[in-house]
Structure formats: structure tokens, C-alpha cells
Amino acid sequence: MVQFFLSKASMPRAGRLISRPRLVRMFTDGVDARLVLVAAPAGFGKTTAVVDWLTHSEVDRAWLSLDADDNDLSKFLRYLWTAIVGSPSLPGRAGSGPPDAAEAIGEIVAVLARGTAPAVIVLDDFHVIVSAQVQGAVRLLLEHLPDHVRLVVVGRHDPALPLSLLRARAQLLEVRADALAFTDEETGAFLRERMGLDLSRADVTALGAGTEGWPAVLQLAGVWLSGTTATSARVRELAASNRFVLDFVSDEVLSGLPAATVDFLLRTSLLERLTGGLCDAVTGRDDGRAMLEYLDRSNLLVQPLEEGREWYRYHRLFADVLRARLSASRPDELPVLQRRAAGWYDEHGYAADAIEHALSCKDWEFASGLLAKASAAVIHAAEYVTLLGWLDRLPVVVLREDSLLSTRYAWALALTGRVDEVERRLADAEEALPRAQQAGRPDVVSARSQFALIRSVVARTTGDGAAAVAHARDALREAPADLAEDRRVLLNADAQALLGHALWAVGDVDGAMAAYRTARPLLQASGNWIGLADIARNLARLEVGAGRLRQALAECHDALGPPDHCAIPALAPVHLARAEVLHRLRDPDAAAAAELALTLARDGGDTATAHDARLLLERLTREPPPDAQHAQGETVAPLTQRELEVLRLTAAGRSNRQIATELYLALGTVKSHLHAIAGKLGAANRVEAVAIARRSGLLP
């Protein structure tokens, strides 16, 4: 659903401000800080300063630009995972409830702990985070951050993090407005190098005092000053004004621009991101691209978002000024512009932006249509909180009249565990159904089956297994005869999987397995890997429970199917199930299978599976296959399991620190193990210890 996914999780381009070695030094000198706090009002060049530092630095970095949507904990954790691990995260498992922040952060920390090179995690625009859950997750990350990783929090105000504690421990580096404000020297250099303005020293000082070194305001002032030869007079005018300096300079800049340019700026100010075609759609003109290039070339009012210069954005402070002016001077125009923007976004496949703007301009019919089109994908992506947020912005009467949207509302409620509210929405959906059917809407053909599926999920959540079974069977029975083949596959796959879960819950193991086996090929055919992984893992567990280990293994292999399916990250739980079965079979391949499960789970951001796979791997390392135990028995002074592990890693060329990380030991413990090993083997150092161990068959 999120089209700007990658740009959100990558560092913005370096801006065209001057390089500020003073600030870069401040960042690099604070290497011991666990938390770097960059806190200052809008337009103080916070992001630019961090980008400037990181482009001058060798450290590994993960960047996350936050927005209001990230107050949804599951969304935040997925983006954080993507930013750190570098691979897009899979949606959460349907109906798995709210994500476990401790588990997810634990897995992120485990990934970070694999490295040793200095790294930073940047959370930009952290002030948009108001969710206590997300703030709590960040606190957790901060507490468990490995020594080589620093967290950089950038925002307009101080975050709700334990700042005093970190300050007392000298683990906090603060970069604030007083440091970010331009010095007179920087003001002079900026105007000279970026604006081609050579001001006298006195004028620079007066300008610095008048703007208090506020970088974004200085940019605007630079645009204003470059339109005249009488710069000194303008500087004096600014310094003498008692108006809020941002109002003063933006007024002056706008009044100096041609009317057509001001019109363009105002009409496009509602857009978060600008591109030629979108601007044309909104303004009703045809000069969007040319205008953006002109603004880009001639001054600093827009910033290109990527090298190709297709997408731009206004500086936020400037956009706020323009928007305030638009709503003050042309209040009736705003909804018209929003409606046009929504239309362009819809035509170009930006569903989320289209919905946002359609809801903002209160075009309910258009918004309902967009939501009907997009909501299945949003549910599939497990972005329930986002969907509920959108649907809640529709007037109640609009929502109740729409059978499909009421059904989707009920789905989102059922899957987030808000089961008490489901029936009311289903009642609305049922009441509105005849009208939708009369209108011949194709998306309500299987409505009655959908109602039954939702009720089955609710019954399972509330622990009523018998009702869950009955509703799942209803869903199969209610499936209309004339359903198109692809829809039939999807519906039957969901219904059989839910029937399997429900039957297992009431203890009908054979029935559950039969339903799961019916669901398997349907899920494979519809490419629903998440659903497939769920039922395959359950099948394997049921077989294990019945003592049929070979059969359990076969279930995993059936689900994994052709070799090219094996590397699908969503199938990580199947690999984990396979590893667990192999472990029970004392098969030496268990470790490799667990390793693969861990890798795939990390690729897919499936922290729950990653967590279990990592624990299994640790257990496998503690309990090596029988032949290793046999070899140990032959030595004169037997090594402990732990010592054997340390020795094996030493032989593999790992440093003490790496061994400590891999085995979750303190560095000192690793050293004392090595000391004991050397003593038992009669070796002078680690190299000799490895050689002796190899000769005596302790190591391969």
C-alpha cells in the first residue's frame, strides 16, 4: 500500500546548503554517546545536518523518516526492520493480534549484534510519534542497543526518552537550536556560495540577528535579497521589523514573485510531494514541470527528492506558510484542489494518497469507491489500523449504506481482536446487502460467505470452538454456485484453513488435518504463502503430536513444493517446522534447516519465526549430534560443551569478541574458557590448542 516505501527507509539526498564542518565535528566527537538528540524547531536544518555528517562518515546507517502513520506499532516495527535489515518486511500474520514489541526489538538487536562496525540508526521527524507503544519500543531499542550502534533521534521537540539518565551517564549528545543556528560566518558563506550575494560584514551581522540564524528563514531572506541591488536597505528593513520574522520574509518573497508563480505555489501547496503531471492536474495549467524546474533553478523554494528530478517537495516551513495563505485567501478552492489531486493519484496507482485527499475534500462517493477498490489489499497487508482510520473518517450513514465497506470494517475489527464491535458492522452489511446486490456490484457476490468467515474468526478468538467450526462450514455452504473460478479458490482456501483451525481447537485432529490438506493446494494456487505457511506448520505439529515424524517431514516438503518456492521468506515457518522435526529425528541437517529458517525470517521481517529459529539454533549448538559427544569421551581431560563450542569457533577463525556475540557470553567468560581449554589440552596458546584438538579428533 505504501508507494514511497523505499524513500521512507533511505537517507534523503544531501541538500544544497553549505557544508558545516563545525556541526560534523560535533557529531563525530560524540562517538561515545548511545543517543544523539537533534532537537530544534522546523527549518533549523536538522535533517540536513545529520545527512551532512553521515555523508562525511564511514559508519553504517539505517534511516527511517517517520510520519503520522507510524503511530501504528506494527507499521513502525516493519519500517524499522526494513531500515535496519534492508529487506522489506512481510505483513503480520492475519489475526495474530497486536505485534510483540519486545520480541521484534529483540530480533532487531540480534541482527545488529552480528556486526561490529560502528553504525547509526536515524529516526527522523520523531516528534510525529505520539503513540506510547511506539515510544516504548524505541526506549526498548535504546536500552538494548549493542555498543557499536548509536541511535539518532531527530525532531522538533524533546522525545519521551530517558534523557536525564543518559545525560548523567554522559551517553547523550545533544545538538540543539543554538548549535544548528547559522553563525555570522556561515550566513555570509551561505549567501555568497548559494545565492551569489556578497553582503558587507555589518549586513551579515544584522541579518543574522534579525533571523536569529534560522536557516530556512535565511534561505527565504536570500531569495528576497537577491531580487534587488539595494540589499543593505532591505536588511535594515528586516532588522527593524517587529513582525514574526517568518511572516515578514515570506510576505516579501511572495510579493516579489510574478502573479502566475504565486498562484502556482498556493495551488500546489497542499501536495506533500510534487511532480509535473500532478501539479498540472491540480492547477489546471500545463506548466507544472517547467515551473518546478524554474523554482529548483532560480532559488531554494523546492527540493528535488531524487537524482532524476521527477519529484520535489516544498520546504516544510514554506509549505506551511503557503497552506495557511491558501486557506485564508481562497477557502473554497481547497476542496476542489484536493479532489483533483485525489483523481490524479488514483489514475497513477497511488491508492493511499488518493484516499487521503478524497477523504480530506469530503467527496464521500469517490472516497468510498477508492476504499472499496483498495481495502482488500490493505487487509492483506495487515494494515488494519490504517484501514479503520480511513473508514472512521467516512460519515456513519455513508459507511452503513455500503455493504462491502461495512464487511471490510468487520474484517479489520475481527482481525485486530476488537470482536465486540464486529456484529454491529455485520448487521449493517447484511441490511445494505440487498441494495448492493440489486445494483449488481460484483464485489458482494460472496458476501454471505464473508460474513460467516468473519464470524468464524470471532468465535475462535472468543474461544467458542464449536461456533467457529459451524461458521466455517456455513461459509463453504453459502459459496454461490456462479462464483468465478479465481474467487472460488480464494474463498475456499480461506474457509478450509479457518475450518482446520476451528476443528483443531475443538480437538478434532483428523478433521483439522483433512481441512488443512484441502486448503493446501488452494493456497498454493492463489499464491497465499502466509496462509500456506500457517497450515503447513500446523500440519507438521499435528503429525509430530501423533508420533509420525516422517509424515511430519513430508508435510513440510509438500508445502515447500518446487525448489524455487523454498526461498520465499513467507515460508520461513515451514522451514522452522522442518528443522524442529529433523532435530527430533537426530538428523544432522537440522541445523542447516534452522539456519535457513532464520535467514528467511530475517529477510521477511518475521520476527516471531526468527526468534524461535534462533532459539532452536542455540539449542542445537548446545546439543551436538551423538558422534561429537562420542569424540569428547576419548579425551584425557574432557572439555565441557561450552568449551567445545568456544574451541570450534576459535578454529573457525573467530575473534574473542565475535565468539562472545555468537554464544551470548561476556568477553571475559570467553577468555576464561580459552584459558581452561589451553590448560586441559596442555597448549601454550589458542593456535596450539586448535592444533592439539584436531590431532586428538576433538575437532574435524
Partner 1 sequence: MSQSLSCQIEVRGLLDPSWAQAFDGLTLDPSPDGTVLTCTVGDQAALHGVLALIRDSGVPIISITVRSPTQEA
**Partner residues linked to 149 by β-bridges:** 119
**Partner residues linked to 173 by β-bridges:** 36
- Interaction between residue 164 and partner 1 (CB under 8 A): yes
Q: Which is nearer to partner 1, 7 or 171 (CB)?
A: 171
Q: Which is nearer to partner 1, 71 or 219 (CB)?
A: 71
The CB-of-392 to partner 1 minimum distance in angstroms stands at 19
The answer to whether residues 444 and 487 touch, using CB atoms and an 8 Å cutoff, is no
Among 24, 109, 140, 177, binds partner 1 (CB under 8 A): 177
Going residue by residue from 33 to 72, which x/- string records binding to partner 1, judged by CB under 8 A?
------xxx-------------------------------
* Integer Cα distance of 504 and 219 in angstroms: 66
Among 34, 139, 144, 156, binds partner 1 (CB under 8 A): 156
- Interaction between residue 296 and partner 1 (CB under 8 A): no
Q: Which is nearer to partner 1, 42 or 59 (CB)?
A: 42
Query: Phi and psi at residue 176, in whole multiples of 5°?
Result: -120, 180
Among 16, 22, 114, 157, binds partner 1 (CB under 8 A): 157
* Integer Cα distance of 612 and 597 in angstroms: 9
What is the four-CA torsion angle of 347, 350, 353, 354, rounded to 10 degrees?
30
Q: What are the residue ranges of helices labelled H in 86-214? A: 101-112, 132-144, 163-168, 177-180, 184-195, 201-211
Q: Which is nearer to partner 1, 167 or 194 (CB)?
A: 167
Residues 660-679 that bind partner 1 (CB under 8 A): none
Q: Look at residues 136, 179, 235 and name the one whose alpha carbon lies nearest to residue 23.
A: 179
The CB-of-181 to partner 1 minimum distance in angstroms stands at 9
The CB-of-66 to partner 1 minimum distance in angstroms stands at 14
The answer to whether residues 213 and 183 touch, using CB atoms and an 8 Å cutoff, is yes
The CB-of-23 to partner 1 minimum distance in angstroms stands at 16
- Interaction between residue 159 and partner 1 (CB under 8 A): yes
Q: Look at residues 189, 194, 232 and name the one whose alpha carbon lies nearest to residue 210.
A: 232
- DSSP state, 127? G
Residues 82-111 that bind partner 1 (CB under 8 A): none
The CB-of-209 to partner 1 minimum distance in angstroms stands at 14
3 state SS of 61? strand
**Burial category of 242 from C-beta neighbours within 10 Å (exposed 0-12, middle 13-18, buried 19 and up):** exposed
Among 176, 373, 393, 680, binds partner 1 (CB under 8 A): 176
Q: Which is nearer to partner 1, 57 or 183 (CB)?
A: 183
- Interaction between residue 160 and partner 1 (CB under 8 A): yes
Q: Which is nearer to partner 1, 162 or 588 (CB)?
A: 162
**Burial category of 597 from C-beta neighbours within 10 Å (exposed 0-12, middle 13-18, buried 19 and up):** buried
Which cell goes with 25? 565535528
Of the listed pieces 174-182, 355-363, 542-550, 608-616, which binds partner 1 according to CB under 8 A? 174-182
Total binding residues toward partner 1, as defined by CB under 8 A: 18
Residues 106-135 that bind partner 1 (CB under 8 A): 127, 130, 132
Q: Where do contacts with partner 1 occur on this chain (CB under 8 A)?
A: 39-41, 127, 130, 132, 155-160, 163-164, 167, 176-178
